[in-house]
Structure 1
Amino acid sequence: MPKQKRATSRSTVNAKSRRIPAKAGVTRLRQPTSCRAGAQGKTQTKEETQSVPPREDKSPEHQDLIKYTGGCHCGAVRFEVWASKSLHVFDCNCSICTKKQNRHFIVPASRFHLLKGAESLTTYTFQTRMAKHTFCKICGVQSFYTPRSNPDGYGVAPHCLDKGEEEPVITLEYFNGNEWESSMAQHKTIKDMSKL
C-alpha cells in the first residue's frame, strides 16, 4: 500500500485530515470512539429531486470545475456533478454515517443534476428530519443525499463517481457527528461549501 501524505486542512477541533489517492480503496483510518444511538427512523417514498436533462456546456458558474458522472449500483439512478479536481470529503462518525460508512463531499444544489431515476429514489429521515438520506430503492445504494449541515446543497459519495479521465484527489476530514451541534459551531467552512 503506498504511503499516505499529510494534507493541510482548514478543519477545527475533532477533525483530522489525510490526503489519499481516490482509487486507493476506502479504508477505515480511525474507528469512532462512540456512536450515539439514533431515534426511530422514517422512510419516505416521495422524492423531491426531479430528473433534469444533462448540461452540454460549461456555464460561467462551472469554470475551473470538472463534470463528474455517477450513480447507484444497479444504474437506475444517474447524476452529474460539477466539482473541483480536489475533493474535500467528510467522514462523519454520527450514528447513521457510521452504519452506512457515509463519506461525502458537499456541492451547491445548482452544481448537481439528477439525470435519471427520480422514481427509483426513496428517502430516509430521523430525529430532526433535516438530513434527507436518499437512496435507490432497487439496489439500496446512497450515491448522494441532502446533509443536515447543508440543506441547500448535496453530499455526494466519491466512491459512486464513474471512472474517468480526470481522477479526483481526495482530502479526507473526520467530522465528530456524535457532537454535531458543537462541531458545527466550531467548523468555519462547512456551511459555505453549498454556497456559490
Structure 2
Amino acid sequence: MDRDITEIDGACHCGAVRFRVRLSEGLHSARRCTCSYCSMRGAVAVTANVGGIEIIEGEDALNLYQFNTGTAKHYFCSKCGIYTHHQRRSNPNEYGVNVACLEGISPFDFEEVPVNDGVNHPSDGGKANGLAGVLRFIRNA
C-alpha cells in the first residue's frame, strides 16, 4: 500500500457513485472518530481539501445527512447506503473520505488507525486534535 498516494479513484459499493479524489496527506491521515455518528458508521477516513473530490458519476445518487449543529455534511449513496465522504465539522475546508471506497484500499490494510476524540469535539470546547486511542488490526497468520 502506497501511503504517499495523492490521487485515486473511488466508488460506493454498487458503483452508482464514482469519484476521483486528491488526498492532501495521502493515506497518512487515516483516522477514526468516537462521535456518536462515526462510532456507528465505523469507517476509516483520510483527508482531502474541499474541492479535492470530483464526482465523476452519480452525483444525483448522493444523499446528505446532517445532525446536531448541521456543520458536518455526510454523503452516502442512496442506492447501496455506503458512506463515501463528509465535509468535516472540525475543519469545514476538509473532507473525510471513506478509505473502503478507494480503489484497491481496505480499512484492514492499516495495522493501526488513530482514533480522534469526537465526543469532546474541539468546536464544543474539547481538546483540539485530542486522541481517544488507537484501533489495531492484527491479521491471523
Q: What TM-score range do you get, normalising by the shorter chain?
A: 0.7 to 0.9
Aligned to 2:80: 139
* Higher RCO (C-alpha under 8 Å, 6+ residues apart): 1
Aligned-partner SS, 1:174: strand
Answer yes or no: is the 8 Å Cα contact 1:86–1:170 preserved in 2: no
Aligned to 2:14: 74
Aligned-partner SS, 1:110: strand
Q: Deviations over 1:13-60 (max 9, x none)?
A: xxxxxxxx68xxxxxxxxxxxxxxxxxxxxxxxxxxxxxxxxxxxxxx
Identity of aligned residues (%): 30
Closer, same or farther: CA 98–117 of 1 in aligned 2, 3 Å: same
Aligned to 1:180: 121
Structure 1 Cα separation of the partners of residues 64 and 6 of structure 2:
28
Structure 1 gap ranges (5+): 1-20, 23-63, 189-196
Closer, same or farther: CA 108–163 of 1 in aligned 2, 3 Å: same
1:41-60 aligned at under 5 Å gives the runs: none
Aligned to 1:94: 35
Q: Which amino acid is 1:103 matched to?
A: V
Structure 2 Cα separation of the partners of residues 135 and 178 of structure 1:
22
Residue number among 43, 47, 54 corresponding to 1:113 in the alignment: 54
Aligned-partner SS, 2:119: helix
Report the alpha carbon displacement of residue 169 of structure 1 after superposing the two structures with TM: 6.9
Structure 2 Cα separation of the partners of residues 170 and 76 of structure 1:
30
Aligned to 2:68: 127
Structure 2 gap ranges (5+): 131-141
Q: Which has the larger strand fraction?
A: 2
Closer, same or farther: CA 149–171 of 1 in aligned 2, 3 Å: farther
Report the alpha carbon displacement of residue 70 of structure 1 after superposing the two structures with TM: 0.6
Q: Deviations over 1:91-120 (max 9, x none)?
A: 101110011103211211232211111100
Structure 2 Cα separation of the partners of residues 102 and 82 of structure 1:
19
Report the alpha carbon displacement of residue 65 of structure 1 after superposing the two structures with TM: 5.4
Judge which range, 80-89 or 115-124, deviates more.
80-89
Aligned to 2:134: none
TM-score w.r.t. length of structure 2: 0.75
Greater C-alpha Rg:
1
Aligned-partner SS, 2:121: helix
Report the alpha carbon displacement of residue 180 of structure 1 after superposing the two structures with TM: 0.9
